[in-house]
Amino acid sequence: MAKKKKQKQRVAFRKNREKRARQGDLTRDVEMAGEDSERSAEIADLPTGERLSGKGDLTRNRTVITEAGEDGELRIEVDESACSRGRVLMATGLNSVVQDKEGNKHECTVRRVVRTLAREARNAVVAGDWVLFQKLDDGFGVIERVEPRKSSLSRHSGRHEHVIVSNVDQIVIVTSAAEPPLKPSLIDRFIISAEKGETRALICINKADLIEPAGIQSILGLYGQLGYQTVLTSAETGAGMDRLRDFLKDRGSVFTGQSGVGKSSLLNAIQPGLVLDTGKVSSWSQKGKHTTRRAELIALESGGWVVDTPGIRQMSLWDVIPEEVQGYFVEFHPFVGYCRFPDCSHTHETDCRVKQAVEAGLISRARYLSYLRIVTGQELADV
């Protein structure tokens, strides 16, 4: 076994955190949890952007004794013999449902030090986390430690990060052919988010029953040619479900997309017996009603698990710098090296090979316009 080094991390205390939390102070945790569930309803309303990241990191705000394992990761020291390992299926504020390896579910609160270690209390424990927790009577428990996250899907509201789900293998980008209408530029933003997180993505265009399939073939063809996996589905008729099921098998996936595109409906269709809430799309605004309020891990009978998430409101790529964007447009790659200016942004420059390729029909104009919108920082207000 690797030798473990103990070390002390010293960082600034925040004023209101100076008092030490008493060990075993459950009442306080429960009180906090109450406060936080109210706040979580608020949080669900806020998302304005989304990001996938490959590796999570914890920010430490106070002195805690941690262990440095072989991998150099810092952890809270806990008596492992008194704890069980589990997976967080759902987290609302500070209350979470944790499943142990026998499959039993426990309603858990969170030890204060776990919250203190998190960058923000709302991100302390999220669906998908692996945790060490102490079992209490009657299906209750206390989370003592959250293991480092391998990947996570976050949404952002201003400077605030809200981690939606952690430790996912792949992402299903759900859009709809109609109601709400298809927005390829939104797909492009989701693709960048997925590539940045080095996560495998499937582009799913749902509500195929509402359109003439021929009309959508060119878009499917375009993304297929670029090397992305695509599927045309209908939760209504069952079209495309086999392919979607195959993609999900034995992996951890997260469904993301605008409200009303049919994420919950697709999951209900994939696994009859699931009764996820679905909501009608407003007929006048063509917008969904944000029916799903929180992320939840759902085990699939065919193996693997999926997470249904609340629909996003805006898709801003907050942490992508303009120079980076061309890298995510794979079809630009053969041309970028031949522009007259080595630092060509492919926007206003003369002798730009990318623009010439668009004119020559070698690069899709829609994709190029999407690129322009992203590099010039134009937000897709209200998706």
Ligand X SMILES: Nc1nc2c(ncn2[C@@H]2O[C@H](COP(=O)(O)OP(=O)(O)OP(=O)(O)O)[C@@H](O)[C@H]2O)c(=O)[nH]1
Give the nearest distance from C-beta 351 to Zn ion in angstroms: 8
Nearest residue to 40 (alpha-carbon basis) of 295, 314, 312, 316: 295
Both tokens of residue 7?
């070390």
First vs last C-alpha separation in the chain = 51
Indicate the residue among 180 and 252 with the shorter CB distance to ligand X. Answer: 180
Instruction: Candidates 175, 264, 316, 326: give the one binding Mg ion (CB under 5 A).
Output: 264
Between CA 51 and CA 280 the distance in angstroms is 27
Instruction: Candidates 40, 66, 253, 292: give the one binding Mg ion (CB under 5 A).
Output: 292
Indicate the residue among 95 and 292 with the shorter CB distance to Mg ion. Answer: 292
Q: In a 10 Å sphere around its CB, with 0-12 CB exposed, 13-18 middle and 19+ buried, how is residue 177 labelled?
A: buried
Nearest residue to 148 (alpha-carbon basis) of 177, 170, 121, 126: 126
Question: In the window 335-374, what residues touch Zn ion (CB under 5 A)?
Answer: 339, 344, 346, 352, 354
Residue numbers at the binding site for ligand X (CB under 6 A): 206-207, 209-210, 234-236, 259-265, 278-281, 288-292, 310-311
CA–CA distance from 3 to each of 67, 70, 82, 132 (Å)? 10, 7, 21, 21
Give the nearest distance from C-beta 277 to ligand X in angstroms: 7
Q: Which does 207 bind (CB under 5 to 8 A by kind): ligand X, Mg ion, Zn ion, none?
A: ligand X
Indicate the residue among 52 and 261 with the shorter CB distance to ligand X. Answer: 261
Identify whether the C-beta of residue 351 lies closer than 8 Å to the C-beta of residue 345: no
Indicate the residue among 51 and 263 with the shorter CB distance to Mg ion. Answer: 263
Main-chain dihedrals φ then ψ at residue 190, nearest 5 degrees: -65, -40
Return the residue matching tokens 């670029």: 226
- Asked if 132 touches Zn ion (CB under 5 A), the answer is no
Indicate the residue among 152 and 291 with the shorter CB distance to Mg ion. Answer: 291
Pick the stretch among 57-65, 77-85, 258-266, 335-343 that binds Mg ion (CB under 5 A). 258-266
- State the residues that interact with Zn ion by CB under 5 A: 339, 344, 346, 352, 354
- State the residues that interact with Mg ion by CB under 5 A: 263-264, 291-292
